[in-house]
Structure 1
């Protein structure tokens, strides 16, 4: 019997989460990357566990892994995007704020995705139509809510639209402080939390097309009914890029006004390309 794509995504994310959970708190070898970034032995082993699931269930599909790169046919219609440990720095200093992300891009859309929280033992998942959280083997449909007023900001580079836009400058904006409460989790688990109503919104800069970090979270938010755009309110992956995921139109409009004010107040030479 053929396993559904969403079940493959869940199984793969759970396999990676099991490794992340088991290796937590151990002495981890670090492997340097460019820009001062690094992976740990847990990243490597978690990705291998995920790839084992994908190879056994979807051997014809292509895969892009955070650590292992791309494998499979270059023109493959189906591509799995794998981030085995989102929040490596958190994890390396024994903070449990991490996620394991697995998403399937079919053509130009993500048709199945899962983001696992290894320590809460939760998996947020979507079949491309609706979004759910699985706890103790039971699935519950999730819906966004702006009630918390918590907005997660990604302050990590790259800053694609700097200096005219920096997420960090939102922290000093009176309109932001008056309406929202900032959070900086430094893992895309916070994107899944927007879909689940645990965050009102999430904002980041950057080119996120086919991003192993963001594909799962974006798909969850879209399926849950969030407002999902680029940082200037444009269609996702166009123009200035970046990402705003908001629980509702009012939250999205408020954040867009704050961002627009920041961009508009930048010196004219910094607004080139707007």
Structure 2
């Protein structure tokens, strides 16, 4: 019996999560990237484990990994996006708020995705039609909810849209504080939490997120779960606009867009 794409995504994310979990607290070698960004030996080993699963199950597909870049020679319109450890800074500081993300892009968008929490044992996944969380072999349908009023914001640089929106300014907005409860997790695991009803919303000003190794899986989960997912202007993500607003419902989404627009400079 052939293995389905969603099963491959889950297996790959679980393989990476196993490495991340097993090596937690061990000495880490850091490899500097741009600015203060860095990878560790665990990022690399987790990505190797993920690629091992993908290469074994889908040898003809392309893979784009955060650490290894683009690999494979296939030309079938299928590309796997791999983020082996989202929250590397957290992990290096022995904080367990991290995720392992795997997503498959096809000509019609993100077909399947999985986002694994190495320390809870949960895997959030979608087959493109609905979204689920798997724990101890049992799948439960994800249902978004804004009841918590918790809104996660991304404070990690760079800030490409700072002239029109900066998350740090949002934290000082009295109306934002009155309506919501701001949180900063610093990992895209918080995007999956919106799909699961554990966050009311998530905000970031990062660019071109629909094909991002960091965000593609979480975005796919939220879209499949029925969340409202747009750019900072309320435009669809595929139009190439700036940033990301993911909300559990239309009311929350509208309130956040109003707060975002207040940061934009007025006419001279």
Q: Same fold (TM over 0.5)?
A: yes
Q: Which residue of 2 aligns with 1:49?
A: 49
Misfit runs of 4+, over 4 Å: none
Q: Which residue of 2 aligns with 1:31?
A: 31
- Contact 1:143 / 1:196 at 8 angstroms: preserved in 2? yes
Could you say what the CA RMSD is over the residues aligned between the two structures, in angstroms?
1.2
Alignment of 1:136-147 (within 5 A): 136-147=136-147
CA distance in 1, matches of 2:11, 2:102: 10
Alignment of 1:75-224 (within 5 A): 75-207=75-207, 208-224=209-225
- Contact 1:123 / 1:135 at 8 angstroms: preserved in 2? yes
- Contact 1:10 / 1:114 at 8 angstroms: preserved in 2? yes
Q: Matched residue of 2:148: which SS?
A: coil
Q: Return the offset for 1:34.
A: 1.1
- Contact 1:144 / 1:226 at 8 angstroms: preserved in 2? yes
CA distance in 2, matches of 1:68, 1:110: 21
Q: Return the offset for 1:239.
A: 5.1
* Unaligned residue ranges in structure 1 (runs of 5+): 270-274
Q: Which residue of 2 aligns with 1:245?
A: 246
- Contact 2:31 / 2:40 at 8 angstroms: preserved in 1? yes
Give deviations 1:178-209, integer Å, cap 9, x for gaps: 10000000000000000000000000012114
Alignment of 1:223-242 (within 5 A): 223-238=224-239, 240-242=241-243
Greater shift, 85-94 or 207-216, is seen at 207-216
- Contact 2:79 / 2:104 at 8 angstroms: preserved in 1? yes
Q: Which residue of 1 aligns with 2:21?
A: 21
Q: Which residue of 1 aligns with 2:6?
A: 6
- Contact 2:81 / 2:105 at 8 angstroms: preserved in 1? yes
CA distance in 1, matches of 2:76, 2:267: 43
Q: TM-score if structure 1 supplies the norm length?
A: 0.95
Greater shift, 202-211 or 89-98, is seen at 202-211
Q: Return the offset for 1:159.
A: 1.5
Greater shift, 74-83 or 177-186, is seen at 74-83
Residues 1:71 and 2:93 aligned together: no
Q: Which residue of 2 aligns with 1:272?
A: none
In the comparison of the two structures, how many residue pairs are matched?
Answer: 267
Greater shift, 218-227 or 161-170, is seen at 161-170
Residues 1:60 and 2:60 aligned together: yes
Q: Return the offset for 1:267.
A: 5.8
CA distance in 2, matches of 1:90, 1:261: 31
Q: Matched residue of 1:45: which SS?
A: helix
CA distance in 2, matches of 1:243, 1:73: 32
Q: Matched residue of 2:73: which SS?
A: coil
